[in-house]
Amino acid sequence: MSTSSRSEGTSPGGPPEGKVVIGRVSSPHGIRGELSIVPLTDFPERFQRMDTVDLYRGDVFLRTLEVRRIRFNEGRDTLILESDLRDRDEAKAVSGAQILIAAEDRVELPEGRFWIDDLIGLSVEDMEGHPLGTVENILSAGACETYEIRGIDGRLHYVPAVEEFVRDIDLEQGRIRLSLIEGLWD
């Protein structure tokens, strides 16, 4: 079982309900109103198909920009957005803003992959159906992601997101089923 390493999901400060973050305006680029964009998605090529981008600060809508052109900034993990902004001052005013899309406009994931924000809050049970707790977070470090689960005992438990342990993810039922080995849950 796998998740997407960057979720096109929620962020601290909270986007509005039904919206997900796909990028952040880093800074102005040049003097003609261009913006440097940090993609916060595993699918940065999606920006090249966008006609407009919606900018937010937290849950507050700032404005919609018309996209004239988006290009990858050579040698960097950023994009350059040419829009209807006229100059560097207008570009500076939106620095730090987040680019949000409607959740239903996310890229469709292949079978067996899930958005992180879809997994947080799912109930967790063992293979016999006994409740274990609730997914609180997905940690991305090392070779695989790790599910942070608040056990029914109130303690945090960490389970690697690998098929050996994570046997079933059922979003419709709102649950994850784990196959536990000795010492994994202790």
Q: In Å, how far are 6, 112, 119, 186 from 116, measured between CA atoms?
A: 8, 12, 5, 25
What is the arithmetic mean of pLDDT over 27-46?
A: 90
pLDDT band at 73 (very low <50, low <70, confident <90, very high): confident
Asked whether residue 43 carries a pLDDT value surpassing 90, the answer given is no
What pLDDT, on a 0 to 100 scale, did the predictor assign at position 3?
52
In the chain the domains, ranked by start, together with CATH numbers, are: 7-105 (2.40.30.60), 113-178 (2.30.30.240)
- CA-CA-CA-CA dihedral for 88, 92, 98, 99, to nearest 10: -10
Section 111-132 average pLDDT = 91
Yes or no: say if 132 and 158 are a contact pair by the CB < 8 Å rule: no
120: tokens are 């947080």
Global model pTM greater than 0.95: no
163 pLDDT more than 60: yes
183 pLDDT tier (thresholds 50, 70, 90): confident
Query: Is pLDDT larger for residue 76 or for residue 20?
Result: 20
State the average pLDDT over residues 156-164.
Answer: 92
Residue 92 pLDDT: 95
Q: Residue 12 — pLDDT band, cuts 50, 70, 90?
A: very low
Buried residues in 29-41 as b, exposed as e (16+ CB within 10 A): beeebbbbbbbbb
pLDDT, tens digit, for every residue of 80-101? Answer: 888 989 999 999 999 999 999 9
**What per-residue confidence (pLDDT) applies to 107?**
86
Query: What does pLDDT average to over the chain?
Result: 87
Residue 15 or residue 42, greater confidence: 42
